[in-house]
Every structure is written in C-alpha cells, then in structure tokens.
C-alpha cells in the first residue's frame, strides 16, 4: 500500500465512489423533481374542475355542505390529495383531509398567484399546511361569487401518506439504481481505471525499481530506453543522465584521489631532495668550516642557494595554483602589446637555452593587435611554457616561439623538438595532480607549471591546445582574445 500505484488506485477508487454517490443523489433528486413537475402539470386543472362541480362559497361564507360533497367525491377518487379553502390573503378557512392534522393557519399566497397567472405551465411548489417548512406540488384556482373574489381552492397533490410511501419507494429506488446501474458502472470503471493506472505508471515502476537497484549499489543500473515523449519517459532519461554523470564524477574522484596521493608523494620527494641537500651542505660547512677553501665554500653556498630557489619555486607554484583554484588570485586586465612580452621572455631564456646548445627561434608577425590580459599572469604563462620547452628539449634542439594574428585575437605558439609526449598522456598532461609515467624521459615532476598555465588561460577566456607526434615534437598554442 506504500507504492505509488496503490496510492493512485486508492485515490481513484475514493473519487469514483464519490462521483457514484453524487450521481445517485443527483439522479434521484432530478427524478423526484421530474415526477413532481409531471404530477403538477397532469393535475393542474383539478382545482378548476372542482369549482365547476361544487362552489365552496355561499353568500361569502364557506359552504360546509359543498365540503361534504368534496369529501365524498374527491377523497374516494384520490385519497392522496388534500383540499384547502383559502381567503384572498392565504388564511386557511377550511379543509378536507383524512386525519385533520393541519399545522399551519395560513400559506404563502404568492406561489398560488404565480400558479394561477401561468395557468399551471410553470413548475412551482407551495407550502404544505401539514408540514411546516415543507413544500408540495399543488393545483389552485380562484373562487368568485358575483364577480367578487372570495378566495382560492388550494389542493396539495402529495399528502403526508404520499410522502411516507414516496420515501419508502425512494429508498428502494436508490437501492435498485445503485445495484443495477451505478454499481455496475463503478465496477467496470474501477477495473478500467486500475488497468489504465497500471499501464500509465508502468514506466514509473521501472524508474522506481532502477532507483532502488542503484541505491543498493548497482551503479550500472539504468532505466530501459523508451520511445515515448511522456513526462515519465523524460524522468527515466533524466535519471540515466544523472546516473552517468554521478558515475563519471565517482570515477573522477577516484582518479583525483589517486593523483592527489601521487602529487603528495612527488611534492614530498621534490621538497625532500633540496632540503636534504641544504641540510647536508650546511652540516658540512659547520663541521669543516676551517678546513674548506674559499672556492669550496663558494661552491657549497651556490648549491644551497640553488636548492633554496627550487624550494621557493615549488612552494610558490603550490600557493599560486591554490589561489587560482579558489579564485583568490588578483587579476588586473589591461590593454598590452603581447609582442613586447614575448620578446622579453625570449631574451630571458636564451642564456639558459644556450647552455644546452638549444636555439630559440622567435617569429613575431607585424602589426599585432593589442590584447586584453593580466601582464603578470600572461608573463607567467609564457615563462612556464618556455621553461618546460627548454627543460625537455634535447641538446642541439630547437624551440619555436611564434605570435601571429588569428580570428578573435592573437595566436601564441611554443614548439620544441624532442621525443614528444606519449599519446596516452595527451589528455591528462594539464591535470594538476597528473604525473607522466616515470619511465618516460620527457615531462617529469608534479606538473604544476602546466596546470597553472591552463588555469590562467581559463581566467582569460581561452583554452590551451597541445599537439605531439610522440616522436619528434611537442607544441602548445592558444589564442589570446583582443
């Protein structure tokens, strides 16, 4: 009973019962009104016929002898009618009823006048003198003597006995109506409704079963595809899409967790090495300070400073990447000439490249449009790319640095010769936690430099592209918007 199907079915049954009861009530009421209106129209001339046969007034007074005649004739023909003699104001002067139990002294004269004016064509109910607050169908006619209105003959067509018998028959009628028609209709409607509900909710049950299976741990559970465009079919498609996304996110979290562990190991290793070097040479200086020559001391200090620089750069990269991820890195966009920045960066790395006999070939197209960028961050991007290229270009290799106009901005390209990047690493090389296979002699370490490059370019509304044949070259390029 907790399932949606049974809840909908129960609601449908209750609504169907309510509709059925309303139908029976309205039908019975309309049938009763139909009978009353038919009875009134059929007997609308009864009061007129009575006056033609017997005048209930004589010399302005009620003719008791005439009432006796009415008693013997009318009551013998139809004991269900009751005859009342009214004065022009509606006061009851006399009456002919079986048990003499009349409770009202007068009746509302307006319905009587309305009946007489419409000659009984309009259905109207009058007050029942034997039932205060009750109404009955009637026939009425005015009584004149010497062209003077003496009063009215008011004949109710539904006596108290008639009401009692009618109530009994009405109950029986309701019973027959319920059993014969309404009950059959309800049963048939119920069966059809339950089948329709089952058919309409079939896809929803599949969704519920799939969600339950998914909750139990089967992450591959999916709602069967449906060609329908209904809301339930869309619900199934939405769940499948959500499940695919959730499964993808779980896999990504697993990968991120694995890469995070690798990053911690790599960073720990990168931090430990320079710290160990610094510690070793500082201890050596302390222990053998008097025995070391000036050249040896200078050499040791230089090694210590280089290790400190490595630590500073690594810690700086970690902080910068953290700021970029959290959106805390200050960004100051300005209009600048990118060719000047590229030229300065090229000069900075020529000396470093020269130590490995690497040639940096700069190609800056004329008339480059100014770009909108953060000077510090863009300098960081170009330096990281050049540093990466110099680091992994073999001796006597070549680095190409190019800047040319492109649709929507300026294309910047950094290409270096070498063995390139394995194809299986191309899609993951920019991940902040990614580490290329240790057997590969190309890019090593934590990969923070390229992760920082990607994040900075995303802030500038562009993406970095990577190409490599895994044999002879690696190329990074991006379009900086103008």
Decide: 222 and 243 in contact? Cβ < 8 Å.
yes
Q: Check residue 416 and give its pLDDT.
A: 93
Confidence of residue 73 (pLDDT cuts 50, 70, 90): low
Tell me the pLDDT tens digit for each residue of 23-68: 767 777 777 777 777 777 777 788 888 777 777 888 778 877 777 7
Q: Check residue 201 and give its pLDDT.
A: 66
Confidence of residue 399 (pLDDT cuts 50, 70, 90): very high
**129 vs 25 pLDDT, higher one:** 129
What's the mean pLDDT when you consider all of the chain?
A: 80
**Distance (Å, whole) CA 79 – CA 82:** 8
**Distance (Å, whole) CA 443 – CA 65:** 132
Confidence of residue 439 (pLDDT cuts 50, 70, 90): very low
Q: Check residue 480 and give its pLDDT.
A: 92
Q: If we measure between CA atoms, which residue out of 313, 346, 269 comes closest to residue 449?
A: 313
Residue 342: count other Cβ atoms within 10 Å of its Cβ.
24
Q: Check residue 438 and give its pLDDT.
A: 45
Residue 302: count other Cβ atoms within 10 Å of its Cβ.
11
> Within the chain, what is the greatest distance between any pair of CA atoms?
163
**Distance (Å, whole) CA 214 – CA 225:** 16
Q: Check residue 429 and give its pLDDT.
A: 83
- 3-state secondary structure string across 32-69: HHHHHHHHHHHCCCHHHHHHHHCCCEECCEECHHHHHH
Most confident region among 20-24, 141-145, 178-182 by mean pLDDT:
141-145
Tell me the pLDDT tens digit for each residue of 452-481: 899 999 999 999 999 988 888 999 999 998
Decide: 447 and 262 in contact? Cβ < 8 Å.
no
Name the pTM for this structure: 0.47
Alpha helices in 183-230 (DSSP H): 183-200, 202-215
Can you give the length of the chain in residues?
482
> Residue 399: exposed, middle, or buried by beta-carbon count in 10 A (0-12, 13-18, 19+)?
buried
Tell me the pLDDT tens digit for each residue of 281-318: 898 888 887 888 888 888 889 989 988 888 888 888 77
> Average pLDDT of 446-453?
78
Tell me the pLDDT tens digit for each residue of 217-244: 887 887 777 656 566 677 777 878 888 8
Residue 428 has pLDDT above 50, yes or no: yes
Q: Check residue 443 and give its pLDDT.
A: 43
Q: Check residue 463 and give its pLDDT.
A: 92
Q: Check residue 167 and give its pLDDT.
A: 53
Decide: 346 and 401 in contact? Cβ < 8 Å.
yes
Residue 194 is given by DSSP the state H
Tell me the pLDDT tens digit for each residue of 144-178: 888 888 899 888 876 545 555 555 555 566 556 55
Residue 26: count other Cβ atoms within 10 Å of its Cβ.
10
């Amino acid at each position: 009973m907790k399932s949606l199907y049974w809840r909908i079915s129960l609601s449908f049954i209750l609504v169907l019962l309510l509709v059925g009861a309303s139908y029976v009530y309205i039908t019975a009421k309309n049938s009763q009104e139909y009978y009353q209106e038919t009875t009134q129209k059929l007997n609308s001339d009864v009061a007129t016929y009575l006056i033609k046969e017997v005048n209930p007034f004589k010399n302005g007074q009620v003719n008791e002898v005439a009432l006796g005649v009415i008693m013997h004739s009318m009551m013998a023909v139809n004991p269900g009618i009751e005859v009342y003699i009214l004065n022009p104001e509606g006061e009851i002067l006399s009456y002919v009823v079986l048990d003499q139990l009349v409770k009202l002294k007068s009746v509302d004269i307006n319905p009587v006048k309305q009946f007489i004016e419409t000659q009984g064509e309009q259905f109207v109910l009058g007050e029942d003198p034997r039932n205060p607050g009750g109404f009955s169908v009637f026939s009425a006619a005015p009584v004149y003597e010497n062209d003077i209105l003496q009063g009215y003959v008011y004949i109710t067509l539904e006596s108290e006995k008639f009401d009692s018998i009618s109530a009994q028959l009405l109950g029986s009628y309701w019973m027959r109506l319920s059993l014969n028609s309404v009950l059959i209709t309800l049963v048939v409607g119920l069966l059809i409704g339950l089948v329709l509900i089952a058919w309409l909710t079939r896809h929803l049950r599949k969704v519920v079963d799939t969600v339950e299976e998914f909750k139990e741990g089967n992450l591959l559970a999916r709602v069967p595809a449906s060609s329908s465009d209904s809301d339930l079919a869309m619900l199934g498609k939405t769940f499948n899409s959500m499940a695919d996304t959730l499964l993808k996110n779980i896999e990504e979290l697993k990968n991120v967790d694995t890469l995070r562990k690798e990053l911690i190991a790599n960073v720990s290793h990168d931090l430990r090495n320079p710290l160990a070097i610094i510690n070793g040479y500082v201890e050596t200086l302390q222990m053998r300070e008097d025995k070391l020559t000036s050249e040896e001391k200078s050499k040791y200090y230089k090694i210590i400073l280089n290790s400190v620089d490595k630590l500073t750069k690594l810690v700086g990269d970690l902080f910068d990447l953290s700021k970029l991820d959290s959106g805390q890195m200050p960004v100051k966009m300005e209009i600048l000439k990118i060719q000047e920045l590229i030229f300065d960066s090229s000069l900075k790395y020529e000396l470093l490249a020269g130590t490995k006999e690497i040639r940096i070939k700069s190609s800056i197209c004329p008339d480059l449009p100014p770009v909108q960028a953060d000077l510090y961050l863009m300098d960081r991007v170009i330096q990281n790319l050049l540093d990466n290229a110099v680091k992994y270009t073999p001796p006597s290799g070549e680095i190409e640095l190019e800047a040319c106009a492109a649709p929507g901005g300026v294309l910047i390209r950094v290409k270096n010769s070498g063995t390139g990047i394995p194809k299986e690493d191309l899609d993951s090389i920019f991940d902040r936690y990614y580490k290329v296979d240790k057997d590969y002699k190309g890019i090593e370490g934590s990969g923070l430099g390229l992760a920082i490059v990607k994040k900075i370019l995303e802030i500038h509304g562009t993406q970095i592209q990577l190409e490599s044949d895994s044999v002879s070259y690696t190329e990074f390029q991006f379009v900086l918007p103008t």
